[in-house]
Structure 1
Amino acid sequence: MTIYPVETGNFKLDGGAMFGVVPKVLWNKTNPADANNMIDLAARCLLVENGEKLILIDNGLGNKQSEKFFSYYYLWGDHSLDGSLKKLGFHRNDITDVFLTHLHFDHCGGSVQWNKDRTGYEPAFKNARFWTNKNHWEWATIPNAREKASFLEENLLPMQESGQLNFVEQDKTSFIEKSELGFGIHFVDGHTEKQMLPHIHYKDKTIVFVADLVPTVGHIPLSYVMGYDTRPLLTLEEKAKFLNDAAENDWLLLFEHDAHNEICSLKKTEKGVRLDELYTFNEIFKP
């Protein structure tokens, strides 16, 4: 197995929304806001090369939405999905599986693109199976009012209509030790119903793609929970258990949304679990 971080593009969101009830004077230390109160975010994905499988975990915002839509998110930087894949020697047609942690637009928008004459949409990975889970799919396709703006039909239905949609089967536990895709999956429900976090054993280490459970380094303290979470008290429970497990077992956290930090380790302190060390991907997994 070989894994690669894939930068699909950077954007900005309101810092207050990203940190919920935490005062700006605190979160601004780790995630400084601009004059519009917006903070830098990444849409960092992960590519897993495992035998004949080439698995892309999440795929960013995509490029099919309107100029007005993207103006709300202040896109910045030069990264793109195709450009990042090309640097690694791959093309989107090489992708065999697209694993989606959840179906909010900033995680799955790249799954679907305009068709050739822009009269409709089609899957952006023509040779891939798309993976979500049944509970989350139902949650996303019959959305609640809180999340409706994050679950966009044009990002979802073409995956189903193409016949490329697949569901991860979950039993009664919150963790699948090893899935069909070759890695473990941890289910969490605080941010949205049945978000899936990949646990990957790689080069004698365990790396967890933490998606929206811990969006950035600044979200490591327990009470630093996003205003976007549908069940923030449940997030606190899930996050507390996860952070303790991560610190005890020396798991590495790979951040999807931290524009300036890729990976970290954790340590236990008198104030709870805190940041230990920051690393780039290449520092931990030298080519």
Structure 2
Amino acid sequence: MRHKFLKSLSLVTLLLAGCGNLSARTTQEFSDHDPIHAITRENGSGTRTAFMELFGLDEINPNIMVTNATSVVMTSVAQDVDAIGYSSLGSLNDEVKALKIDGVDASTETIKSGQYTMARPFNIAYKEKDLSKLGQAYINFLQSSQAAKIIEENGYVANGTGKDYFPSKLSGKLMISGSSSVAPIMEKLKEEFEKLEPDTQVIVQQSDSSSGMNDVIDGTSDIGIASRELKESELEKGLTAFAFAKDGIVMIVNMQNPNDTISKDEVKKIYEKSDLTWSVLE
């Protein structure tokens, strides 16, 4: 059955010689026969790595559009009626629609219960031998009840001890860098930590998971953040990892897309090829 939905694309300003400025609104129909516009993250992205592992992809078709941040993926999908992408569960907004995977909704509850299996860790990484007292205190804070509250309120699953963090009257600066998926929740966590330890400054720099790990290895950051498991090569270079939270990988489509669910196999097929239409969804 052919589905049709109208979507306003943009307000186009036409400049006609001698006639002034005219405005016209163009529209686009959604159809099962439309080509799927798949969007992926860049190499080095922990979200991309986790997505490929979870959906059993050895590689992503090189003709598929590449973006460099979760926010860009969501904006691109929100503006294209035929787009599909993947995002962090905690980063979802009301401008895109999350699809069920094999009939299961992505939520903190379904991740905790194991029903939703498309989940990955949010890891921090550090060198134990180089870790400062402030760095250790921050890691302790990430496992605390105060941190768990913030993590859960923002749509992630906390993975700490649940014990309260008690301030130690610390001072100094802590540098954290890495994943653009982890950075937003890390910003909120560091704000709470700085309230508890007002003489400290925690700086969060957003890049990607691999860059964050390399920053710690090179000594330019105290703690790296990754939205994937650490690689053997990273662990061999002296990194220690701790998963402070768990996050779902969610398939997202435009709000005008009538589909509500997709299978794991269909996702794999879409990202292995670049010439499929929406009729591929059963």
TM-score (norm 2): 0.25
Indicate the structure (1 or 2) with the bigger Cα radius of gyration.
2
TM-score calculated relative to the size of structure 1: 0.24
Select the structure with the greater relative contact order (CA < 8 A; seq sep ≥ 6).
2
The structure with the greater share of residues assigned to helix is 2
